[in-house]
Amino acid sequence: DVKVTQSSRYLVKRTGEKVFLECVQDMDHENMFWYRQDPGLGLRLIYFSYDVKMKEKGDIPEGYSVSREKKERFSLILESASTNQTSMYLCASSPAGADIQYFGAGTRLSVL
């Protein structure tokens, strides 16, 4: 079974804090993704990565950055958290060329 693990289920942070969301997959997948899920908007792609040290912007990259130093780990960074970044964050991974992505359980982030 594919396992995508997000380090925190719930996080509460203050405006202006630097926030790290971590994601680890155990299936040696090349591709990793970060989405946010908001009511009425579905899942929107923030960043993705096809290989170590590679990253591509998704649809809503503003206010976020990512890091992929190891194949199994993909980190999402909020440089200076703002209240409009309160959301559910979902990490996913997939093998190269695959159509199906496998998701973690999500991190619900609240920025106060």
CB-CB contact of 95 with 29 (8 Å):
yes
Residue 106 is encoded by which pair of tokens?
């999500």
User: Which residues ranging from 17 to 56 are in contact with another protein (CB under 8 A)?
Assistant: 33, 35, 40-45, 48, 56
Contact between 12 and another protein by CB under 8 A: the answer reads no
User: Which residues ranging from 49 to 88 are in contact with another protein (CB under 8 A)?
Assistant: 56, 58-59
Least separation in angstroms between CB 87 and another protein: 14
Handedness of CA 95, 74, 89, 5 (dihedral sign): positive
Query: What's the rounded Cα separation, in Å, for the pair 51 and 105?
Result: 22
User: Could you list the residues that contact another protein (CB under 8 A)?
Assistant: 4, 9, 33, 35, 40-45, 48, 56, 58-59, 90, 92, 97, 99-106
